[in-house]
Structure 1
């Protein structure tokens, strides 16, 4: 399968590192004009430079904006008013030690609301702007980067899991709303991935325990994701490959779907 996105403009939110960074590069390799987004100019500029180096001749630009706020989304759309592809990737998680219900009860409102605004409302607000324009053109792709935590709720990250489930509801609802227009909306569900947040956590644990990062990742899987069929962390590129496919012409019959790239962690057939 040869994916060609020449002539398409793509925005990838939260794309200075991790899955977003891999997705931005993958879309650029397919010929799309790609807009990289992050909160700070320095990281955005560095990601743009790296992707241009990796994809000579690629059309890559950047917008620094904090998409956890309405003002940040407004800043993004002011600089990039139109797009054919929107990958709602920006998000984060609070990684905490977990012993029991007391830990969940101690999560403050600010953490619940902060994650909801960044992980969910950033995609709602961006989609609200770009989707009608895609519908008018008769072609468009919107992808929400959710997580296996959306359907395999993690008690150690309950606030994060809540936002990922919400993304699935938003994604499916938007897909229903644009049915038959040539625009598709899908969600992608990564599992444990060697991305910036989780990868850095594993690296710190490895240093603290005097083991390799691979050993730390195996301990994580054994204790928290024992149903993994992959038996290792995915790479950001493996996840990005699924996202790039969902953005392609070849994925024209896929909409309203939750596309799993979680290594078989979730134990159901669907």
Structure 2
């Protein structure tokens, strides 16, 4: 039994190493959230077993939990580098598949079709507004900037205010609000499913997204000209890496010891 107990320990240590390695590899990934492994002990026994004689038979992985603590602020100066200063998520929708994603990576840009997107054809979602910035609907839609305004003046630039208003400026000096950024919130964000590129999708564990306007409640303000860095603490991860390595070595040593004992028993002479 000791072989399998230590084997479980080896597998758990390997999982821990994999998670820590993933965290370290993404230390410079914008909007990345670190994860940690959680384990539980396994005990063998029945209702008739003397509680003083019950022994453990190893450990098992219970979950890999995401940590959504806010990362450091990196000033960039680019108007479409955005950050949620709070607990909310940007919402994007794939222009190819129509899938909805949630992200803390606010590195957006304007493409040739006037869409504010993340470089992977995922378009930023906003609440529709009138030209003055008053919200006219509660269903998020694509953030689209017209190349010319109603007077025929050409597009000159884009700014995003703290309240989430996306404002387009035109050559004739006029400004038009093209939408207000829709910020998503979840009752259990740790239940979101990672799909890569600092994107998540909702699950039955996370619950469905609740949308709100920036600056209201838990949704957080919008910071323009800044990005949220990864919340990975390299020093903490390196300590965890050393610990996981020692755990792996200790379990390997336990298997080696059990093997030596088994060999000794086999070699006994009567």
The answer, yes or no, to whether TM exceeds 0.5 is no
Q: TM-score range by the shorter chain?
A: under 0.3
TM-score for both structures, normalised by structure 1: 0.20
Normalized per residue, which structure has more strand?
Answer: 2
Give the greater-gyration-radius structure (CA): 2
TM-score for both structures, normalised by structure 2: 0.20
Normalized per residue, which structure has more helix?
Answer: 1
With a CA cutoff of 8 Å and minimum separation of 6, indicate the structure with the bigger relative contact order: 2
